[in-house]
Amino acid sequence: MDMIQLVFEISFMVFWVSMFIIRYPYAQRNKSNVIQVNQKSTQEKWLLGCTALGMILLPAVYVATPWFDFADYHLPDILGVIGMVLLSPASILFYRSHRDLGRNWSASLEIREQHSLVNTGVYKYIRHPMYTAIWLWVICQALLLQNYIAGLSGFVSFGLLYFLRVGKEEQMMQTKFGEAYIAYKQKTKRLIPRLF
């Protein structure tokens, strides 16, 4: 392996570990929340399983073993460097969205007891900043782990989860918060802030 490929892999794995560290305290704290509405369907469970495979297990296997090496690809170095640069906005947005959602966060489609509608912090600009962060994450994964299996699996699995979930999530929020969510939707875009 080239030196630069190694640098790409290591930087992705440092990022990958820090994502767990960012999420951990929120996952712990929110364990005690009482769930009021649970829309975790069988489809949702499968999709969550796929993203765990594509974003956690396959990258870990790739860096720890030579098993997937036959499926490597090689991108121009500049694309790997862009991937490294994108790791910062991805982690900042991931952290900020956890902090702003606080106890309203959950890995799945759920409404908690005393759920509040968050429309401040990064949520003032976009409705799904955590998904924006995860999109950046899976783009970085494809640019930095240059492998058809471990590099693309994040993009494909999260892409599937995102497109099958986001409409349902907004529907769930609208059922819970009514006019307030409709007004919030009119002021924001899903993933990328409106510039004007």
CA distance 77 to 83: 10
Using CB under 6 A, which of the segments 1-9, 44-52, 77-85, 110-118 binds ligand SAH? 110-118
Query: Is-contact 143 7, C-beta < 8 A?
Result: no
82 or 172: CB nearest ligand SAH: 172
Residue 10 CB, shortest distance to ligand SAH, in Å, is: 28
Task: Locate 162 and state its tokens.
Answer: 């995102």
Residue among 165, 166, 161, 140 at smallest CA distance from 152? 140
CA distance 67 to 156: 20
Q: Is 98 one of the binding residues for ligand SAH (CB under 6 A)?
A: no
Q: Is 123 one of the binding residues for ligand SAH (CB under 6 A)?
A: yes
- Per DSSP, the chain holds a count of helices (H) and strands (E) of 7, 2
Amino acid at 11: S
Amino acid at 162: Y
129 or 151: CB nearest ligand SAH: 129
Q: Is 97 one of the binding residues for ligand SAH (CB under 6 A)?
A: yes
Residue among 164, 140, 136 at smallest CA distance from 150? 140
Q: Is 105 one of the binding residues for ligand SAH (CB under 6 A)?
A: yes
How many chain residues bind ligand SAH (CB under 6 A)?
17
Query: Is-contact 163 107, C-beta < 8 A?
Result: no
Selected from 7, 61, 81, 109, the binder of ligand SAH by CB under 6 A is: 109
Q: Is 130 one of the binding residues for ligand SAH (CB under 6 A)?
A: yes
Using CB under 6 A, which of the segments 19-27, 55-63, 109-117, 142-150 binds ligand SAH? 109-117
Site for ligand SAH in 141-170 (CB under 6 A): 169
Q: Is 136 one of the binding residues for ligand SAH (CB under 6 A)?
A: no
**Distance set, CA 22 to CA 78, 93, 115, 157, 163 (Å):** 28, 11, 22, 21, 25
Q: Is 128 one of the binding residues for ligand SAH (CB under 6 A)?
A: yes
Residues that bind ligand SAH (CB under 6 A): 97, 101, 104-106, 109-111, 117-118, 123, 128-131, 169, 173
